[in-house]
Amino acid sequence: MQKKERFEKVIEWFEQHMPVAETELHYGNPFELLVAVILSAQCTDKRVNLVTPALFKRFPDAETLAASSAEEVFTYIRSVSYPNNKAKHLVGMATMLLHDFGGTVPDTVEQLVKLPGVGRKTANVIASVVYEKPAMAVDTHVFRVSARLGLTTAAKTPLQTEQQLVKHIPENRLAVAHHWLILHGRYTCLARNPKCESCPLTAWCAYFEKQNKVSARSKSASAAPAKKARKRLK
């Protein structure tokens, strides 16, 4: 199957069956989403959603967070991954947000990545979710699912994955496509044991196609000795 057709079929399925796909992080404004996405690095959204209510109550804006300390922030986020580093990043991010951007979350990837704790993935999430810009954020789910489906080829880095996806997905579908791939990776195309038996995308999946060919060759190889034995018995 040609890559163009694969993209078309996958996008068509998602448009029909998951027209609305959004982040599972809980937030009430751009500042809260920025904090939540920083916390979500190598951590589940479920865990982040458990700690953010108290965190947002104590630090509702950049001003209050910047006036705090990494030690205090740590007490609110101790259960997420890498809490020490994230606490420092959050205070640094709030300080820069306050001093350089007037407390307003910037709307471009170029400005966002200047903030402590904000990499390209986080910047793309904010740009697409908050400002509805045509950006493709690549996390581990997007990276894995894109490769398995065959939407990307030999992509070694998140940036390479992003570049390939942006090239083939229409601009007006990039933001939602990010969530399609994340949710598919989170609940169906699991890292260790993908649920291929219940996956609706197998007809266009390069991984599934390859696995079927390997299985067919294995069955053929195991059947050959038995076939020869039957011939000798005749």
State the Cα–Cα distance between residues 156 and 178, nearest whole angstrom.
18
List, as own/partner pairs, every contact residues 10-14 make where C-beta atoms lie below 8 angstroms and the sequence separation is at least 24, other chains included. 10/149, 10/151, 10/201, 10/204, 11/169, 11/170, 11/173, 11/177, 13/200, 13/201, 13/204, 14/176, 14/177, 14/180
Integer angstrom CA distances of residue 55 from 39, 120, 149:
11, 24, 38
Is-catalytic flag, 57? Answer: no
Query: One of 121, 156, 213, 234 is an active-site residue; which one?
Result: 121
Query: One of 139, 156, 227, 234 is an active-site residue; which one?
Result: 139
Written as six digits, the tokens of 52 are: 């953010």
Written as six digits, the tokens of 151 are: 């939407």
Is-catalytic flag, 133? Answer: no
Q: List active site positions.
A: 121, 139
